[in-house]
Amino acid sequence: MSLLEIRDLHATVDGKPILKGVDLVIEPGKVHAVMGPNGSGKSTLSYVLAGREGYEVTSGEVMFDGVDLLALDADERARAGLFLAFQYPVEIPGVATTTFLKAALNAIRSERGESPLDAMQFLKFIREKASNLKVTDDMLRRALNVGFSGGEKKRNEVLQMAVLEPKLAILDETDSGLDIDALKIVADGVNMLRAADRGMLVITHYQRLLDYIVPDYVHILADGRIIKSGDKGLALELEEKGYASFVGAEAA
């Protein structure tokens, strides 16, 4: 059984059609990259899959691990094992990062039929994961993403992924706003989470990220549809020729 099957997905934002028939199948253990120019619908695809309000599916279906994903609320999707690493992680004053992580982890553990971790167990668990990503105790104590640098926010996203151990991780432009050192730390964190039973959907504008997170498949999204799919070589070809040649070829 495929992990994710997107069939002829159409979606609108504020009544405007953005996704116009997306088809995509992800098998467990595989990393898929979706590349596309600005306005092609990349972020819309990630929000539609995560269940954000205001992103309305008008037709098509999405099966996730055998269930109808579109019938679930955002929090139910997360508990079912879907994870979205945000392009712009939200700052939430007054909610400590650890408090947030503990609430999220225990919600997901409860869904899996596991008992919640107590404060001591949680601290031990989180410290181990955090040190790999150079997330300091100070960051964990601070309010969620408040005053974090761009790199710290993205590391925090990957930490959440490591803690919640999803079946499918969607990384929405995780490279945006990162310098090369920060990008390496984040990519290392992501690569450590590659696993035979976990799928990944890496959404990016630039090929650069794919030097570090090497995909099994690459898809080009343009004007709300996937117009070409291939292996990692497609990303290099795209880098060389630019989007215009692909989008143009499709139009012609």
Residues engaged in binding other proteins (CB under 8 A): 50-54, 73-75, 77-79, 83-84, 86, 89-90, 92-95, 99-100, 103-104, 107-108, 111, 143, 160, 164
DSSP labels for 201-221? EEEESSTHHHHHS--SEEEEE
Nearest approach, Cβ of 111 to other proteins (angstroms)? 7
The distance of closest approach from Cβ of residue 69 to other proteins in the complex, given in angstroms and rounded to an integer, is: 13
Burial category of 24 from C-beta neighbours within 10 Å (exposed 0-12, middle 13-18, buried 19 and up): buried
Instruction: Give 133's Cβ-side CA count (13 Å radius).
Output: 30
* Minimal distance, residue 216 CB to other proteins, in Å: 25
Q: Six-digit token pair at 109?
A: 């553990």
* Token reading at 89: 């992680």
Q: How far is the CB of 3 from other proteins (least distance, A)?
A: 18
CA distance readout (Å), 108 to 43, 79, 223: 25, 5, 35
Q: Of the two residues 173 and 238, which places its CB atom closer to other proteins in the complex?
A: 173
- Kindly tell me which of 81 and 215 has the beta carbon lying closer to other proteins: 81
Query: In Å, how far are 140, 169, 199, 205 from 193, measured between CA atoms?
Result: 21, 10, 10, 22
Question: What proportions of the chain, in percent to the nearest 5, are helix, strand and coil?
Answer: 40, 30, 30
- Which residue number, 63 or 80, has a Cβ lying nearer to other proteins? 80
Long-range CB contacts (within 8 A, 24+) of 106-115? 107/75, 107/78, 107/79, 108/78, 108/79, 108/164, 111/79, 111/80
Residue placing its CB nearer to other proteins in the complex, 3 or 108: 108
CB 31 within 8 A of CB 213: yes
Q: Cβ 210 to other proteins, closest distance in Å? A: 24
Paired residues of 20 in beta bridges: 10
Q: Which helix (H) or strand (E) holds 84?
A: strand 82-85
Give whichever of 174 and 207 is closer to other proteins, judged by the CB atom. Answer: 174
Shortest separation between residue 92's beta carbon and other proteins, angstroms: 5
C-beta of 50 vs 218, nearer to other proteins: 50
Q: In whole angstroms, how close is the CB of 169 to other proteins at the nearest point?
A: 12
Q: Are 1 and 66 in contact (CB under 8 A)?
A: yes
Of the two residues 145 and 204, which places its CB atom closer to other proteins in the complex? 145
